[in-house]
Amino acid sequence: MAKKLIQQDPTKVILKDTIDAQWVSVLDYLRSDFDESSYKSWIKPLALVNIEDGCAVMAAPTRFMRNWIMENFSERIKSAWSKVNGHVNDIEIMVLSSHKGLDHKVLPASPSGKILKKTTDIASTEQVKIIRDDQFGALLDPRFTFDSFVVGKSNELAYAAARRVAENKDVNFNPLFLHGGVGLGKTHLMHSIAWANREYFPERKVVYLSAEQFMYQFVSSIRYKDTMSFKKKFRNVDLLMIDDLQFIANKNSTQEEFFHTFNALIDHHRQVVLSADRSPSNLDGVEERIRSRLGWGLVADIHPTDYELRLGILQQKANGVPEVEIQSEVLEFLARRISSNVRELEGAFNRMVAHSTLIGRPITLDMTQEVLQDLLRANDRRVTADEIQRRVADYFNIKLSDLLSARRARQVARPRQVAMYLCKHLTSKSLPSIGRKFGGRDHTTVMHAVKRIDELRQTDSVLDEDILHLERMFST
Protein backbone atom coordinates (compact mmCIF):
# COMPACT_ATOMS: atom_id res chain seq x y z
CA MET A 1 0.00 0.00 0.00
CA ALA A 2 2.80 2.37 0.81
CA LYS A 3 4.10 1.78 -2.69
CA LYS A 4 0.76 2.54 -4.20
CA LEU A 5 0.71 5.89 -2.46
CA ILE A 6 4.05 6.71 -4.00
CA GLN A 7 3.02 5.60 -7.48
CA GLN A 8 -0.12 7.66 -7.38
CA ASP A 9 1.88 10.83 -7.60
CA PRO A 10 3.50 11.12 -11.00
CA THR A 11 5.00 14.57 -10.60
CA LYS A 12 6.40 14.56 -7.16
CA VAL A 13 7.42 11.51 -5.24
CA ILE A 14 5.56 11.48 -1.97
CA LEU A 15 7.63 9.36 0.27
CA LYS A 16 5.85 8.34 3.38
CA ASP A 17 8.34 10.18 5.53
CA THR A 18 7.49 13.45 3.88
CA ILE A 19 3.86 13.25 4.88
CA ASP A 20 4.92 14.54 8.23
CA ALA A 21 6.76 17.39 6.55
CA GLN A 22 3.61 18.23 4.60
CA TRP A 23 1.64 18.28 7.78
CA VAL A 24 4.06 20.76 9.28
CA SER A 25 3.55 23.02 6.26
CA VAL A 26 -0.22 22.66 6.48
CA LEU A 27 -0.04 23.68 10.13
CA ASP A 28 2.06 26.68 9.14
CA TYR A 29 -0.57 27.82 6.68
CA LEU A 30 -3.30 27.33 9.20
CA ARG A 31 -1.42 29.18 11.91
CA SER A 32 -1.32 32.24 9.69
CA ASP A 33 -4.94 31.79 8.67
CA PHE A 34 -6.43 31.52 12.17
CA ASP A 35 -6.15 33.84 15.12
CA GLU A 36 -4.01 32.51 17.89
CA SER A 37 -6.69 31.29 20.23
CA SER A 38 -8.71 29.51 17.53
CA TYR A 39 -5.56 27.88 16.28
CA LYS A 40 -4.76 26.66 19.75
CA SER A 41 -8.27 25.42 20.48
CA TRP A 42 -9.13 23.76 17.20
CA ILE A 43 -6.12 23.14 15.01
CA LYS A 44 -3.35 22.30 17.39
CA PRO A 45 -5.11 19.27 18.87
CA LEU A 46 -5.40 17.71 15.41
CA ALA A 47 -3.07 14.93 14.41
CA LEU A 48 -2.35 13.61 10.94
CA VAL A 49 -3.25 10.01 10.34
CA ASN A 50 -2.58 9.49 6.67
CA ILE A 51 -3.44 10.45 3.13
CA GLU A 52 -5.70 7.98 1.39
CA ASP A 53 -7.21 8.31 -2.10
CA GLY A 54 -6.52 12.03 -2.13
CA CYS A 55 -8.14 12.41 1.25
CA ALA A 56 -6.08 13.77 4.13
CA VAL A 57 -7.18 11.93 7.22
CA MET A 58 -6.66 13.66 10.56
CA ALA A 59 -7.71 12.80 14.07
CA ALA A 60 -9.34 14.90 16.78
CA PRO A 61 -9.60 13.93 20.43
CA THR A 62 -13.39 14.19 20.78
CA ARG A 63 -16.45 13.78 18.62
CA PHE A 64 -17.56 17.26 19.53
CA MET A 65 -14.34 18.76 18.26
CA ARG A 66 -14.45 16.71 15.11
CA ASN A 67 -17.97 17.86 14.30
CA TRP A 68 -17.21 21.46 15.10
CA ILE A 69 -14.08 21.52 12.98
CA MET A 70 -15.78 19.80 10.06
CA GLU A 71 -18.70 22.19 10.19
CA ASN A 72 -16.73 25.39 10.61
CA PHE A 73 -13.22 24.97 9.33
CA SER A 74 -13.19 22.15 6.81
CA GLU A 75 -12.89 24.48 3.81
CA ARG A 76 -9.95 26.34 5.29
CA ILE A 77 -8.18 23.13 6.24
CA LYS A 78 -8.84 21.70 2.81
CA SER A 79 -7.44 24.77 1.16
CA ALA A 80 -4.28 24.64 3.28
CA TRP A 81 -3.85 21.02 2.23
CA SER A 82 -4.33 21.76 -1.42
CA LYS A 83 -1.59 24.37 -1.25
CA VAL A 84 0.82 21.86 0.19
CA ASN A 85 -0.18 18.76 -1.75
CA GLY A 86 -2.05 19.17 -5.02
CA HIS A 87 -3.37 15.64 -4.82
CA VAL A 88 -5.34 16.20 -1.68
CA ASN A 89 -8.87 17.13 -2.64
CA ASP A 90 -10.72 16.15 0.50
CA ILE A 91 -10.23 15.90 4.21
CA GLU A 92 -11.63 13.64 6.88
CA ILE A 93 -11.34 13.92 10.63
CA MET A 94 -11.78 10.90 12.80
CA VAL A 95 -12.22 10.66 16.50
CA LEU A 96 -9.41 9.19 18.45
CA SER A 97 -10.71 8.91 21.94
CA SER A 98 -8.50 8.11 24.83
CA HIS A 99 -8.96 4.89 26.68
CA LYS A 100 -8.44 6.64 29.96
CA GLY A 101 -11.00 9.30 29.26
CA LEU A 102 -13.85 6.84 28.98
CA ASP A 103 -16.39 6.09 31.62
CA HIS A 104 -14.92 3.62 34.08
CA LYS A 105 -17.86 1.33 33.48
CA VAL A 106 -16.86 0.80 29.89
CA LEU A 107 -14.90 -2.38 29.48
CA PRO A 108 -12.56 -3.56 26.74
CA ALA A 109 -14.40 -5.44 24.05
CA SER A 110 -12.33 -8.37 23.16
CA PRO A 111 -9.66 -10.38 24.83
CA SER A 112 -7.75 -10.44 21.56
CA GLY A 113 -6.46 -7.78 19.26
CA LYS A 114 -5.17 -4.29 19.70
CA ILE A 115 -6.47 -1.09 21.08
CA LEU A 116 -5.85 2.39 19.84
CA LYS A 117 -4.50 4.72 22.38
CA LYS A 118 -3.81 8.39 22.32
CA THR A 119 -1.12 9.95 24.39
CA THR A 120 -2.02 12.95 26.50
CA ASP A 121 -1.15 15.46 23.82
CA ILE A 122 -1.64 14.58 20.20
CA ALA A 123 -0.53 17.89 18.76
CA SER A 124 1.99 16.23 16.54
CA THR A 125 1.80 13.12 14.45
CA GLU A 126 4.65 11.54 16.27
CA GLN A 127 2.54 11.33 19.36
CA VAL A 128 -0.25 9.27 17.83
CA LYS A 129 0.83 5.72 18.36
CA ILE A 130 -0.73 2.35 18.32
CA ILE A 131 -0.07 0.46 21.47
CA ARG A 132 0.81 -3.01 20.37
CA ASP A 133 -1.00 -4.98 22.98
CA ASP A 134 -3.53 -7.51 21.91
CA GLN A 135 -6.74 -5.49 21.85
CA PHE A 136 -8.21 -4.18 18.62
CA GLY A 137 -11.94 -4.11 19.03
CA ALA A 138 -13.73 -1.03 20.32
CA LEU A 139 -15.07 -0.70 23.82
CA LEU A 140 -18.44 -2.11 24.73
CA ASP A 141 -21.03 -0.22 26.69
CA PRO A 142 -22.17 -2.43 29.60
CA ARG A 143 -25.64 -0.86 29.46
CA PHE A 144 -26.24 -2.20 25.96
CA THR A 145 -27.41 -5.77 26.58
CA PHE A 146 -30.32 -7.89 25.41
CA ASP A 147 -31.84 -7.52 28.86
CA SER A 148 -32.10 -3.79 28.56
CA PHE A 149 -33.37 -3.88 24.98
CA VAL A 150 -37.13 -3.41 24.74
CA VAL A 151 -38.66 -5.38 21.89
CA GLY A 152 -41.57 -4.15 19.80
CA LYS A 153 -42.98 -4.59 16.31
CA SER A 154 -40.46 -2.27 14.75
CA ASN A 155 -37.38 -4.10 15.96
CA GLU A 156 -38.48 -7.69 16.60
CA LEU A 157 -36.89 -9.14 13.48
CA ALA A 158 -33.57 -7.44 14.15
CA TYR A 159 -33.72 -8.52 17.78
CA ALA A 160 -34.50 -12.16 16.96
CA ALA A 161 -31.73 -12.29 14.38
CA ALA A 162 -29.28 -10.71 16.82
CA ARG A 163 -30.15 -13.28 19.47
CA ARG A 164 -29.76 -16.09 17.01
CA VAL A 165 -26.28 -14.91 16.10
CA ALA A 166 -25.29 -14.42 19.72
CA GLU A 167 -26.49 -17.79 20.94
CA ASN A 168 -25.24 -20.01 18.14
CA LYS A 169 -21.87 -21.02 16.93
CA ASP A 170 -23.20 -22.20 13.61
CA VAL A 171 -23.59 -19.57 11.02
CA ASN A 172 -27.22 -19.32 9.94
CA PHE A 173 -27.12 -16.24 7.83
CA ASN A 174 -24.05 -14.41 6.86
CA PRO A 175 -23.77 -11.52 7.08
CA LEU A 176 -26.48 -10.24 9.37
CA PHE A 177 -27.08 -6.72 8.14
CA LEU A 178 -28.97 -4.39 10.48
CA HIS A 179 -30.17 -1.11 9.14
CA GLY A 180 -32.37 1.74 10.31
CA GLY A 181 -32.36 5.43 11.13
CA VAL A 182 -30.30 7.14 13.78
CA GLY A 183 -30.90 6.21 17.41
CA LEU A 184 -33.08 3.17 16.79
CA GLY A 185 -30.88 0.65 18.58
CA LYS A 186 -28.41 -0.72 16.02
CA THR A 187 -25.38 -0.14 18.20
CA HIS A 188 -27.27 -1.37 21.26
CA LEU A 189 -28.04 -4.66 19.50
CA MET A 190 -24.49 -5.15 18.30
CA HIS A 191 -23.04 -4.62 21.75
CA SER A 192 -25.67 -7.03 23.10
CA ILE A 193 -24.51 -9.66 20.63
CA ALA A 194 -20.93 -9.19 21.75
CA TRP A 195 -21.75 -9.44 25.47
CA ALA A 196 -23.97 -12.48 25.06
CA ASN A 197 -21.67 -14.30 22.69
CA ARG A 198 -18.77 -13.85 25.07
CA GLU A 199 -20.82 -15.30 27.83
CA TYR A 200 -21.95 -18.35 25.85
CA PHE A 201 -18.64 -19.02 24.17
CA PRO A 202 -15.82 -17.42 26.12
CA GLU A 203 -13.21 -18.99 23.87
CA ARG A 204 -14.44 -17.22 20.75
CA LYS A 205 -12.84 -14.12 19.38
CA VAL A 206 -15.52 -11.48 19.14
CA VAL A 207 -14.62 -8.12 17.73
CA TYR A 208 -16.84 -5.08 17.49
CA LEU A 209 -15.75 -1.79 15.98
CA SER A 210 -17.11 1.08 13.92
CA ALA A 211 -16.35 1.37 10.23
CA GLU A 212 -14.51 4.54 11.11
CA GLN A 213 -12.25 2.66 13.48
CA PHE A 214 -11.76 -0.04 10.90
CA MET A 215 -10.56 2.57 8.46
CA TYR A 216 -8.37 4.18 11.06
CA GLN A 217 -6.67 0.90 11.85
CA PHE A 218 -6.31 0.17 8.19
CA VAL A 219 -4.63 3.48 7.34
CA SER A 220 -2.46 3.20 10.41
CA SER A 221 -1.32 -0.21 9.32
CA ILE A 222 -0.30 1.28 6.01
CA ARG A 223 1.46 4.10 7.73
CA TYR A 224 3.36 1.79 10.02
CA LYS A 225 3.95 -0.64 7.14
CA ASP A 226 2.11 -3.35 8.93
CA THR A 227 -0.72 -4.37 6.64
CA MET A 228 0.14 -8.04 7.01
CA SER A 229 -0.64 -8.13 10.67
CA PHE A 230 -3.75 -6.02 10.05
CA LYS A 231 -5.02 -8.63 7.62
CA LYS A 232 -4.06 -11.45 9.88
CA LYS A 233 -5.77 -10.18 12.98
CA PHE A 234 -9.02 -9.43 11.18
CA ARG A 235 -9.12 -12.78 9.45
CA ASN A 236 -8.63 -14.48 12.75
CA VAL A 237 -11.88 -13.57 14.50
CA ASP A 238 -14.92 -15.78 14.96
CA LEU A 239 -17.44 -12.98 15.01
CA LEU A 240 -16.71 -9.63 13.44
CA MET A 241 -19.11 -6.72 13.85
CA ILE A 242 -18.67 -3.45 12.01
CA ASP A 243 -21.00 -0.61 12.93
CA ASP A 244 -22.07 2.34 10.74
CA LEU A 245 -20.78 0.85 7.53
CA GLN A 246 -22.06 3.84 5.52
CA PHE A 247 -18.85 5.51 6.65
CA ILE A 248 -16.80 3.62 4.07
CA ALA A 249 -18.76 5.14 1.19
CA ASN A 250 -16.37 6.75 -1.29
CA LYS A 251 -13.32 5.57 0.65
CA ASN A 252 -11.97 3.29 -2.00
CA SER A 253 -9.04 1.50 -0.49
CA THR A 254 -10.81 1.06 2.84
CA GLN A 255 -13.76 -0.41 0.98
CA GLU A 256 -11.50 -2.74 -0.91
CA GLU A 257 -9.80 -3.91 2.26
CA PHE A 258 -13.11 -4.31 4.04
CA PHE A 259 -14.34 -6.48 1.19
CA HIS A 260 -11.27 -8.72 1.33
CA THR A 261 -11.72 -9.16 5.06
CA PHE A 262 -15.43 -9.76 4.64
CA ASN A 263 -14.96 -12.41 1.96
CA ALA A 264 -12.21 -14.16 3.86
CA LEU A 265 -14.39 -14.43 6.95
CA ILE A 266 -17.48 -15.57 5.08
CA ASP A 267 -15.46 -18.18 3.20
CA HIS A 268 -14.24 -19.56 6.50
CA HIS A 269 -17.73 -19.65 7.99
CA ARG A 270 -17.03 -16.92 10.48
CA GLN A 271 -19.99 -14.79 11.43
CA VAL A 272 -20.13 -11.20 10.23
CA VAL A 273 -22.61 -8.62 11.55
CA LEU A 274 -22.88 -5.20 9.94
CA SER A 275 -24.98 -2.12 10.52
CA ALA A 276 -25.72 0.97 8.48
CA ASP A 277 -28.20 3.78 8.37
CA ARG A 278 -29.60 2.42 5.10
CA SER A 279 -30.08 -0.87 3.29
CA PRO A 280 -27.21 -2.46 1.34
CA SER A 281 -28.71 -1.50 -2.01
CA ASN A 282 -28.88 2.13 -0.94
CA LEU A 283 -25.29 2.43 0.20
CA ASP A 284 -24.31 5.00 -2.38
CA GLY A 285 -20.59 5.37 -2.82
CA VAL A 286 -20.05 1.68 -2.15
CA GLU A 287 -19.19 -0.48 -5.11
CA GLU A 288 -22.04 -2.43 -6.65
CA ARG A 289 -20.41 -5.85 -6.23
CA ILE A 290 -19.90 -5.13 -2.52
CA ARG A 291 -23.43 -3.86 -2.03
CA SER A 292 -24.96 -6.90 -3.61
CA ARG A 293 -22.79 -9.23 -1.58
CA LEU A 294 -23.85 -7.48 1.64
CA GLY A 295 -27.43 -8.48 1.00
CA TRP A 296 -26.79 -12.20 0.72
CA GLY A 297 -27.38 -13.01 4.34
CA LEU A 298 -30.21 -11.63 6.39
CA VAL A 299 -31.07 -7.97 6.02
CA ALA A 300 -33.09 -6.76 9.01
CA ASP A 301 -34.63 -3.32 8.98
CA ILE A 302 -35.25 -1.54 12.27
CA HIS A 303 -38.29 0.65 11.71
CA PRO A 304 -39.08 3.84 13.56
CA THR A 305 -40.52 3.14 16.98
CA ASP A 306 -44.22 3.04 17.63
CA TYR A 307 -46.00 4.43 20.65
CA GLU A 308 -46.10 1.19 22.65
CA LEU A 309 -42.41 0.58 22.24
CA ARG A 310 -41.55 4.09 23.30
CA LEU A 311 -43.74 3.74 26.34
CA GLY A 312 -42.09 0.42 27.16
CA ILE A 313 -38.65 1.95 26.95
CA LEU A 314 -39.69 4.82 29.21
CA GLN A 315 -41.22 2.46 31.75
CA GLN A 316 -38.03 0.49 31.87
CA LYS A 317 -36.08 3.67 32.44
CA ALA A 318 -38.49 4.79 35.14
CA ASN A 319 -38.05 1.45 36.92
CA GLY A 320 -34.36 2.13 36.93
CA VAL A 321 -34.81 5.24 39.08
CA PRO A 322 -37.28 4.18 41.80
CA GLU A 323 -36.23 7.13 43.93
CA VAL A 324 -37.71 9.61 41.48
CA GLU A 325 -41.46 10.09 41.53
CA ILE A 326 -42.98 10.40 38.08
CA GLN A 327 -46.66 11.05 37.45
CA SER A 328 -48.08 8.35 35.24
CA GLU A 329 -49.30 10.62 32.46
CA VAL A 330 -45.79 11.99 31.99
CA LEU A 331 -44.48 8.80 30.38
CA GLU A 332 -47.46 8.59 28.07
CA PHE A 333 -47.04 12.20 27.13
CA LEU A 334 -43.36 11.75 26.31
CA ALA A 335 -43.99 8.57 24.33
CA ARG A 336 -46.61 10.34 22.29
CA ARG A 337 -44.74 13.54 21.67
CA ILE A 338 -41.11 12.48 21.21
CA SER A 339 -41.21 10.14 18.31
CA SER A 340 -38.03 10.93 16.43
CA ASN A 341 -35.71 8.36 17.95
CA VAL A 342 -34.92 6.53 21.13
CA ARG A 343 -31.80 8.51 21.84
CA GLU A 344 -33.84 11.70 22.01
CA LEU A 345 -36.48 10.02 24.09
CA GLU A 346 -33.87 8.91 26.60
CA GLY A 347 -32.35 12.37 26.56
CA ALA A 348 -35.70 13.92 27.39
CA PHE A 349 -36.30 11.44 30.18
CA ASN A 350 -32.86 12.03 31.68
CA ARG A 351 -33.35 15.77 31.56
CA MET A 352 -36.58 15.42 33.51
CA VAL A 353 -34.96 13.21 36.11
CA ALA A 354 -32.05 15.61 36.51
CA HIS A 355 -34.41 18.54 36.84
CA SER A 356 -36.61 16.84 39.37
CA THR A 357 -33.62 15.71 41.42
CA LEU A 358 -32.25 19.25 41.49
CA ILE A 359 -35.41 20.93 42.64
CA GLY A 360 -36.51 17.98 44.77
CA ARG A 361 -40.02 17.67 43.37
CA PRO A 362 -41.85 14.88 41.55
CA ILE A 363 -42.03 15.01 37.75
CA THR A 364 -45.38 16.41 36.67
CA LEU A 365 -46.86 16.99 33.27
CA ASP A 366 -46.65 20.76 33.64
CA MET A 367 -43.02 20.58 34.57
CA THR A 368 -42.31 18.32 31.60
CA GLN A 369 -43.96 20.64 29.14
CA GLU A 370 -42.03 23.57 30.49
CA VAL A 371 -38.62 21.95 30.73
CA LEU A 372 -38.83 20.26 27.35
CA GLN A 373 -40.40 23.11 25.41
CA ASP A 374 -37.69 23.32 22.77
CA LEU A 375 -37.43 19.59 22.27
CA LEU A 376 -41.18 19.20 21.91
CA ARG A 377 -41.32 21.89 19.29
CA ALA A 378 -38.51 20.28 17.34
CA ASN A 379 -40.33 16.97 17.36
CA ASP A 380 -43.40 18.50 15.82
CA ARG A 381 -41.67 18.85 12.50
CA ARG A 382 -39.39 15.93 12.47
CA VAL A 383 -40.00 14.14 9.19
CA THR A 384 -37.61 15.28 6.50
CA ALA A 385 -37.84 14.84 2.76
CA ASP A 386 -34.57 12.88 2.81
CA GLU A 387 -35.98 10.45 5.30
CA ILE A 388 -39.15 10.00 3.27
CA GLN A 389 -37.15 9.35 0.12
CA ARG A 390 -34.93 6.84 1.82
CA ARG A 391 -37.80 5.00 3.46
CA VAL A 392 -39.90 4.90 0.33
CA ALA A 393 -36.99 3.57 -1.72
CA ASP A 394 -36.40 0.88 0.89
CA TYR A 395 -40.06 0.04 1.12
CA PHE A 396 -40.47 -0.46 -2.62
CA ASN A 397 -37.07 -2.06 -2.85
CA ILE A 398 -35.66 0.34 -5.39
CA LYS A 399 -32.49 2.37 -5.31
CA LEU A 400 -32.56 5.83 -3.85
CA SER A 401 -30.69 7.07 -6.92
CA ASP A 402 -33.46 5.66 -9.17
CA LEU A 403 -36.09 7.35 -7.06
CA LEU A 404 -34.36 10.66 -7.67
CA SER A 405 -33.51 9.98 -11.31
CA ALA A 406 -35.41 10.93 -14.44
CA ARG A 407 -36.34 7.31 -15.17
CA ARG A 408 -39.98 6.90 -16.05
CA ALA A 409 -40.32 3.15 -15.74
CA ARG A 410 -43.44 2.41 -13.77
CA GLN A 411 -41.64 0.55 -10.98
CA VAL A 412 -39.70 3.69 -10.09
CA ALA A 413 -42.17 6.35 -11.21
CA ARG A 414 -44.93 5.21 -8.87
CA PRO A 415 -42.77 5.08 -5.72
CA ARG A 416 -41.44 8.49 -6.70
CA GLN A 417 -44.98 9.85 -6.80
CA VAL A 418 -45.69 8.25 -3.46
CA ALA A 419 -42.61 9.89 -1.97
CA MET A 420 -43.67 13.28 -3.34
CA TYR A 421 -47.14 12.74 -1.96
CA LEU A 422 -45.76 11.95 1.49
CA CYS A 423 -43.46 14.97 1.41
CA LYS A 424 -46.47 17.13 0.70
CA HIS A 425 -48.48 15.61 3.51
CA LEU A 426 -45.88 15.06 6.18
CA THR A 427 -43.53 18.02 5.83
CA SER A 428 -44.17 21.72 5.56
CA LYS A 429 -42.25 21.98 2.30
CA SER A 430 -43.71 23.87 -0.65
CA LEU A 431 -44.34 22.19 -4.01
CA PRO A 432 -41.33 23.89 -5.68
CA SER A 433 -39.00 22.89 -2.87
CA ILE A 434 -40.25 19.30 -3.02
CA GLY A 435 -39.58 19.41 -6.76
CA ARG A 436 -36.03 20.53 -6.11
CA LYS A 437 -35.57 17.64 -3.68
CA PHE A 438 -36.47 15.23 -6.48
CA GLY A 439 -33.70 16.03 -8.91
CA GLY A 440 -34.89 19.52 -9.75
CA ARG A 441 -38.39 18.73 -11.01
CA ASP A 442 -41.01 21.35 -11.67
CA HIS A 443 -43.65 22.09 -9.04
CA THR A 444 -46.40 21.07 -11.48
CA THR A 445 -44.90 17.58 -11.59
CA VAL A 446 -45.21 17.38 -7.82
CA MET A 447 -48.76 18.69 -7.96
CA HIS A 448 -49.66 16.09 -10.53
CA ALA A 449 -48.10 13.33 -8.40
CA VAL A 450 -50.05 14.36 -5.33
CA LYS A 451 -53.29 14.44 -7.29
CA ARG A 452 -52.62 11.14 -8.99
CA ILE A 453 -51.89 9.34 -5.72
CA ASP A 454 -54.96 10.86 -4.14
CA GLU A 455 -57.06 9.41 -6.97
CA LEU A 456 -55.35 6.05 -6.95
CA ARG A 457 -55.92 5.62 -3.26
CA GLN A 458 -59.64 5.55 -3.96
CA THR A 459 -59.38 2.64 -6.38
CA ASP A 460 -56.17 0.76 -5.69
CA SER A 461 -56.42 -0.85 -2.28
CA VAL A 462 -52.92 -2.30 -2.39
CA LEU A 463 -51.38 1.10 -2.96
CA ASP A 464 -53.62 2.57 -0.29
CA GLU A 465 -52.32 -0.04 2.16
CA ASP A 466 -48.75 0.79 1.20
CA ILE A 467 -49.29 4.44 1.91
CA LEU A 468 -51.06 3.81 5.19
CA HIS A 469 -48.16 1.65 6.22
CA LEU A 470 -45.62 4.29 5.24
CA GLU A 471 -47.57 7.03 6.98
CA ARG A 472 -47.70 4.97 10.11
CA MET A 473 -43.96 4.49 9.95
CA PHE A 474 -43.48 8.24 10.04
CA SER A 475 -46.20 9.35 12.36
CA THR A 476 -46.36 6.85 15.20
Smallest separation (angstroms) from ligand ADP to the CB of 194 = 13
Residue 170 to residue 11: CA distance in whole angstroms:
52
Tell me whether residue 2 or residue 182 sits nearer to ligand ADP (CB atom): 182
313 binds ligand ADP (CB under 6 A): yes
Sketch the per residue contact string, 168 through 187, with ligand ADP: x for CB under 6 A, - otherwise.
------------x-xxxxxx
Q: Which does 144 bind (CB under 5 to 8 A by kind): Mg ion, ligand ADP, none?
A: ligand ADP
User: Three-state SS across the chain?
Assistant: CHHHHHHCCCCCCCCHHHHHHHHHHHHHHHHHHCCHHHHHHHHCCCEEEEEECCEEEEEECCHHHHHHHHHHHHHHHHHHHHHHCCCCCEEEEEECCCCCCCCCCCECCCCCEEEEEECCCCCCHHHEEEEEEEECCCCECCCCCCCCCCCCCCCHHHHHHHHHHHHCCCCCCCCEEEEECCCCCHHHHHHHHHHHHHHHCCCCCEEEEEHHHHHHHHHHHHHCCCHHHHHHHHHCCCEEEEECHHHHCCCHHHHHHHHHHHHHHHHCCCEEEEEECCCHHHCCCCCHHHHHHHCCCEEEEECCCCHHHHHHHHHHHHHHCCCCCECHHHHHHHHHHCCCCHHHHHHHHHHHHHHHHHHCCCECHHHHHHHCHHHHHHHHCCCCHHHHHHHHHHHCCCCHHHHHCCCCCHHHHHHHHHHHHHHHHHCCCCHHHHHHHCCCCCHHHHHHHHHHHHHHHHHCHHHHHHHHHHHHHHHC
Nearer to Mg ion among residue 178 and residue 334 (C-beta): 178
Looking at 342, 348, 385, 467, which residue binds ligand ADP (CB under 6 A)?
342
Rounded Cα distance between 419 and 416, Å, is 5
- Report the residue number, 26 or 302, with the smaller CB distance to ligand ADP: 302
- Least Cα distance to 53 among 5, 6, 94 occurs for 5
Q: Which one among 187, 271, 281, 282 touches Mg ion, defined by CB under 5 A?
A: 187
- Closest by CA to 212, choosing from 74, 66, 88, is 66
- Name the closest residue to Mg ion (Cβ): 187
Please give the size of the binding site for ligand ADP, defined by CB under 6 A: 17
304 binds ligand ADP (CB under 6 A): no
Q: Does 194 bind ligand ADP (CB under 6 A)?
A: no
**Is residue 155 close enough to count as binding ligand ADP by CB under 6 A?**
yes
Report the partner that residue 150 touches, choosing among ligand ADP, Mg ion, none (CB closer than 5 to 8 A by kind): ligand ADP
Part in contact with ligand ADP (CB under 6 A); list of ranges 17-25, 98-106, 145-153, 245-253: 145-153
**Stretch of 90-98, 178-186, 280-288, 330-338 contacting Mg ion, by CB under 5 A:** 178-186
Based on the shown chain and the rule CB under 6 A, indicate whether residue 415 belongs to the binding site for ligand ADP.
Answer: no
Nearer to Mg ion, 187 or 368 (CB): 187
| Binding test (CB under 6 A) with ligand ADP, winner from 51, 139, 150, 453 | 150
In sequence order, the 6+-apart residues with CB closer than 8 A to the CB of 325 are 356, 362, 363
Based on the shown chain and the rule CB under 6 A, indicate whether residue 149 belongs to the binding site for ligand ADP.
yes
* Residue 182 C-beta: closest distance to Mg ion, Å: 7
Stretch that binds Mg ion, among 184-192, 312-320, 359-367, 453-461 (CB under 5 A): 184-192
- 192 part of the interface to Mg ion, by CB under 5 A: no
Select from ligand ADP, Mg ion, none the partner in contact with residue 435, using the beta carbon and a kind-dependent cut-off of 5 to 8 Å: none
Q: Does the footprint of Mg ion cover residue 50 (CB under 5 A)? A: no
Could you say whether residue 310 binds ligand ADP (CB under 6 A)? no
**Which of 23, 34, 136, 144 is close enough to bind ligand ADP by CB under 6 A?**
144
**Part of the chain binding Mg ion (CB under 5 A), chosen from 157-165, 167-175, 180-188, 384-392:** 180-188
Does position 221 bind ligand ADP by CB under 6 A? no
| Cβ closest to ligand ADP, residue 88 vs residue 215 | 215
Residue from 164, 343, 407, 457 binding ligand ADP (CB under 6 A): 343
Q: Which residues bind Mg ion (CB under 5 A)?
A: 186-187
* Residues binding ligand ADP (CB under 6 A): 144, 148-150, 155, 180, 182-188, 313, 342-343, 346
